[in-house]
Structure 1
Amino acid sequence: MHDRAPRSRLATHSVDNQPLPPRDRDLLALDRPLREALAREAPAWVTRRLAPLGTAVGSREFQALGEEANRHSPELRQFDRYGRRLDEVSYHPAYHQLMHLAFDHGWHTVAWEEEQRGGHQAHVAALYLLTQAEPGFCCPVTMTHAAVPALRHEPNVYKAWCSRLQAWDYDPRAVPAWEKPAVTLGMAMTEKQGGSDVRANTTQAVRDEGGYRLTGHKWFCSAPMSDAFLTLAQTDDGLGCFLVPRFAPDGERNAIELQRLKDKCGNRANASAEIEYCGAWAEAIGSPDRGIANILEMVQQTRLDAATAPAGMMRQALLEAWLHVRERHAFGRRLAEQPLMRRVIADLALEAEASLALAMRTARAYDTPHVPHELALARLLPALAKYWHNKRGPGFMAEAMECLGGIGYVEETPLARLYREAPVNSIWEGSGNVICLDVLRILGRHPECIDAFRAELATARGHSNHYDQSLAQLDTLLHRPKDEIEANARWLTQRMAQCLQAAILLRHAPEAVAQTFCRSRLGHDASPVYGVLPFNAPLDAILSRIVP
């Protein structure tokens, strides 16, 4: 990449009143809310370890790699030139370089290397930063990380795979796992007829010498070039969880046929496939009648990542919009000085900071399971954060895109890519209705979760009238009949997430941020449209936090 500036004087005109070309940025140093959240929630080593990553993901090199990986989608290679099955996916070199950035520095395994010592906070903060290089490649990072708790249910399987799962390396070769220093894991659960209702799965698992043979179809398989997949299949004892490697124990390619790659709205750098198990060899993970419970160990981890990714995308979009409006002039002054634009950007900044704060607070709960209060929060908070952050994401990206005007809508800026990407984390690992019903399930089965949640909210009581009134509303709904609560599960989940965001901000953020958040999200005049803030909102104080 050359450093020479492009020509600004063209044949018929000069290029002026445009932001400067992109430059290297340190995305950790620029992000005051992230640095404050790390100082508050995580041990000091986490920030030190993240420092090189913040520099890398903000560099022109890795920003360009993200664009290239998204522009050149993966391609399916079903057969070799002679007609033998390959069932491989070919990725652009930029994708592999991004994978090296994550895996060669251990961000897929830091949560388990430093378990209960800040590891989950390090993982979540790293994912938040990695997302700002390119969200799609983070999918295999997340799944490789998240597979560990599920595999622990089968000690022999975990022992065979753990060293390669924890290796700081990325090896893209399609060879048996025992020939590689490091591996990645994927997931294949969904089937056509069932969707989120995995109990309706029809894939069959039959005992075979040393394992099982799986036969059936999976409608979505994430990261199909992974070295193994966690999957669900029916056994004589019920729905079981299985690990299906790409290569069978005899070294031959396992009978996993890639039928096609999905042509997705976004998430272009990452491949998603339909696959067919044609008697594929697999190993059981845990009891054959506990498949859902075992796979949920993985889903609980992926949901936190699916709640964190939109926070990272919000931050990237916010930074892009703010740097643009500070340099662009219209109607005689900078866009950043225009009253309406200032309100829009300030409102986006509030949302981004609140989302990050909730993601980091949830990560701390994951890292302290020995404390009953934190264990209860760890059961509940991922669902709240996943639902609400993703509901706010698409509108956020659209508003940030609008701040740039026409050039925000073209693929040369990251905002079009972020807008296409925004819905995906809301859909996978449980779409909106599924997540809201899961919140009700958690509250019903684990009453200690609502006690912990109320205790967490009580720490900020008395700091905002709007906040206190929202707590009373929440308490009223939680005492309504069960069928009425279910019908209003979306409102309940939204308000629980917003109240928890507000509680964190009231306790830890500057008053200008916390009070404006409460007034604009919990007050009587709350609007679903970004940019509608109280008339006397302290915009200068809010905007000053976007960049130092």
Structure 2
Amino acid sequence: MDVTLPAPHEVTNQPPPHAPYDAAADPALIEGLHREGAGWAEADVRRVGLLAGSVEAQQWAEDAHHFEPELRTVDRYGHRIDEVEFHPSWHHLMRTSVAEGLAGAAWSDPRPGAHVARTATSLAWQHTEAGHGCPITMTYAVVPALRHNPELAATYEPLLSSRVYDPGLRVPTTKRGLIAGMGMTERQGGSDVRTNSTVAAPTAESGVFTLTGHKWFTSAPMSDLFLVLAQAPGGLSCFMVPRVLPDGTRNTFRIVRLKDKLGNRSNASSEPEFDGTVAWLVGPEGRGVKTIIDMVTCTRLDCVSGSAGMMRKALVEAVHHVRHRAAFGRRLVDQPLMRNVVADLAIESEAATTLALRLAGAADRAVRGDEQEQSFRRLATAIGKFWVTKRGPGFTAEALECLGGNGYVEESGMPRLYREAPLNSVWEGSGNVNALDVLRALGREPASVEALMAEFALSAGADPRLDAAVQRIGAELADPAELEMRARRLVELMAVALQGSLLVRHAPTAVADAFCATRLGGDWGHSYGTLPAGTDLTAILDRSGPISR
């Protein structure tokens, strides 16, 4: 009997390459951009979305992750240099981010919505490689903290807000643009920065100190300058530490090692030591935490948007696969169980993106003098940081599973996303730190509670499940007993109610109803893909992901 065998290298039933695709083809992203006051930036966001999804940029992301940074403690002659070398793809990513205004440019842009435009652009650019976003975020976040020393801000802010990426260690004021970092934690204390042991000794020059000590996690050590916490005679204080001093000599910044991390492999995270390191005081002595918290508020916003961007990337990869892969006689996307899973993921992604843009809008209006938005930002950013970053790992695992064994293979890109997903829940304060920060705001800043409740009032009566959740929040707040023990429960409820409030006002009915039914109404299982019968999956999936170009 004759048997016709397939050609040995014939490939069937595999999805085509995803890139090029449009990373900004996200209705929640574009709608939020306009709603939060930055519709003028749509053309730029869409342009960056096309670049992010290009074959070239996706290759930059893969190469930056694969060819990890290398520490060079000395040069060929034995001179101490403490430099980190990066693959060219890292520099391509950095150059693009700076040029597109994702570093400090929003601070010099007078247009209302500039910070929203930055967040929206970063949500699209997040489809490349997350590691390089760390120094980009810190450069953005250092500006408001540095303003506590007007003289330093006048010198360095124009360079921090530049759109020119100018790598290499040189005198900062001779460069066309600067990258900044931050050094807060130490090995003995972690988030408990008041236990820091690094000592700042005053010099004969006013405002200039020398530091002796260490830091435990200082990412992007090739940055031009850092904000560092140290114990001055007046208490824990904030200092600016440049890598190169004004006279051209290297400041003492000894890199002990680079961290061997779970993910975020493209980004160098280091342990620096200070020994007579020259530093300039930023803000009053003894007010270091209050000074640097302006930086932390900004970095926490980027934790939210970073996780939202990664979730969207994982979603579109999953959707691309299930739209092209067939099993048991049907495309995966046409099979009810898989359709339920990707629709459920799409709801979660839209909720995260919508919240990230609302927080960006609050940040933009707060820096322009809106006191209510400042109060809302204070509480809601911590709530969003707690919740959205925690949703990332489970979300990414489910998206990976949509690809089956293909998703477990490195070349799919999903393992990189999976390893990256937990980072934002750890960076800038773990879940407990953020939950306690919410309690701190509730106790010390009643205006922030009023602003949050005013936000909920905008959706009152729109959905009974949301109304019930807001009532539960009121009951939780009214009961002070063991509030710290209940902090996670309270913050989670606040976060989901806030997302629900935004969705019932701004998302299509199918999305808002499914979110409230599952996340607030309890009609949900313990995994993605348990949306109730009758959910309009088609309407949800219509917003779920771009199709390759």
**Offset, 1:116:** 6.6
Residue 80 of structure 1 pairs with residue 80 of structure 2? no
Question: Any conservation in 1 of the 2:19–2:58 contact (CA below 8 Å)?
Answer: no
1:418-455: per-residue Cα shift (whole Å, max 9, x none)?
A: 10001111101011000000000011111011111111
Match in the other structure for 1:279: 276
Residue 385 of structure 1 pairs with residue 384 of structure 2? yes
1:97-153: per-residue Cα shift (whole Å, max 9, x none)?
A: 000111123221232123571011011112212211111101111000000000100
Q: 1:440 to 1:115 in 2, by over 3 A?
A: farther
Residue 118 of structure 1 pairs with residue 116 of structure 2? no
Match in the other structure for 1:525: 523
Question: Any conservation in 2 of the 1:241–1:284 contact (CA below 8 Å)?
Answer: yes
Q: Residue 90 of structure 2 aligns to which amino acid in structure 1?
A: Y
Deviates more, 1:289-298 or 1:364-373: 364-373
Q: 1:291 to 1:115 in 2, by over 3 A?
A: farther
TM-score by length of 1: 0.96
The within-5 A match list for 1:380-459 is 380-459=379-458
1:233-260: per-residue Cα shift (whole Å, max 9, x none)?
A: 0011100100000012321110110000
Q: Residue 409 of structure 1 aligns to which amino acid in structure 2?
A: Y
The within-5 A match list for 1:461-472 is 461-472=460-471
Residues of 2 paired with 1:506 and 1:284: CA distance? 47
Residue 102 of structure 1 pairs with residue 100 of structure 2? no
Residue 490 of structure 1 pairs with residue 488 of structure 2? yes
Residues of 2 paired with 1:526 and 1:487: CA distance? 26
Residues of 2 paired with 1:383 and 1:428: CA distance? 13
Residues of 1 paired with 2:501 and 2:18: CA distance? 36
Question: Any conservation in 2 of the 1:113–1:119 contact (CA below 8 Å)?
Answer: no
Question: Any conservation in 1 of the 2:375–2:448 contact (CA below 8 Å)?
Answer: yes
1:480-510: per-residue Cα shift (whole Å, max 9, x none)?
A: 12x4221011111111010010001000111
* Secondary structure, aligned partner of 1:468: helix
Deviates more, 1:424-433 or 1:119-128: 119-128
**Offset, 1:13:** 4.2
The within-5 A match list for 1:61-460 is 61-114=56-109, 117-210=112-205, 211-369=208-366, 370-460=369-459
Q: Say what the alpha-carbon RMSD is for the aligned residues.
A: 1.4
* Secondary structure, aligned partner of 1:86: strand
Deviates more, 1:445-454 or 1:116-125: 116-125
Residues of 2 paired with 1:348 and 1:341: CA distance? 11
Question: Any conservation in 2 of the 1:243–1:284 contact (CA below 8 Å)?
Answer: yes
Q: Residue 352 of structure 1 aligns to which amino acid in structure 2?
A: S
Q: 1:89 to 1:513 in 2, by over 3 A?
A: same
* Secondary structure, aligned partner of 2:482: helix
Alignment coverage as a number of residue pairs: 538
* Secondary structure, aligned partner of 1:77: strand
Residues of 1 paired with 2:110 and 2:263: CA distance? 33
Residues of 2 paired with 1:43 and 1:93: CA distance? 33
Residue 12 of structure 1 pairs with residue 11 of structure 2? no
Residue 515 of structure 1 pairs with residue 513 of structure 2? yes
Match in the other structure for 1:4: none
* Secondary structure, aligned partner of 1:219: coil
Residue 40 of structure 1 pairs with residue 39 of structure 2? no
Q: Residue 542 of structure 1 aligns to which amino acid in structure 2?
A: I
Segments of 5+ residues of structure 2 without an aligned counterpart are: none
Deviates more, 1:418-427 or 1:469-478: 469-478
**Offset, 1:43:** 2.7
Residues of 1 paired with 2:23 and 2:165: CA distance? 24
Residues of 2 paired with 1:528 and 1:297: CA distance? 37
Segments of 5+ residues of structure 1 without an aligned counterpart are: 1-8
**Offset, 1:223:** 0.7
Question: Any conservation in 1 of the 2:219–2:269 contact (CA below 8 Å)?
Answer: yes
**Offset, 1:312:** 0.2
1:301-351: per-residue Cα shift (whole Å, max 9, x none)?
A: 000001110100010000000011010000110000111101110000000
**Offset, 1:180:** 1.3
Residue 536 of structure 1 pairs with residue 531 of structure 2? no
Question: Any conservation in 1 of the 2:171–2:247 contact (CA below 8 Å)?
Answer: no
Question: Any conservation in 2 of the 1:110–1:120 contact (CA below 8 Å)?
Answer: no
Residues of 2 paired with 1:171 and 1:524: CA distance? 52
**Offset, 1:48:** 2.5
TM-score by length of 2: 0.96
Residues of 2 paired with 1:477 and 1:526: CA distance? 23
* Secondary structure, aligned partner of 1:213: strand
Residues of 1 paired with 2:334 and 2:87: CA distance? 42
**Offset, 1:526:** 3.4
Q: Pick from 458, 481, 505: which aligns with 2:503?
A: 505
Match in the other structure for 1:5: none
Question: Any conservation in 1 of the 2:378–2:441 contact (CA below 8 Å)?
Answer: yes
Q: Residue 293 of structure 2 aligns to which amino acid in structure 1?
A: L
Q: 1:296 to 1:330 in 2, by over 3 A?
A: same
Question: Any conservation in 2 of the 1:205–1:215 contact (CA below 8 Å)?
Answer: yes
**Offset, 1:399:** 0.3
Residues of 2 paired with 1:328 and 1:359: CA distance? 32
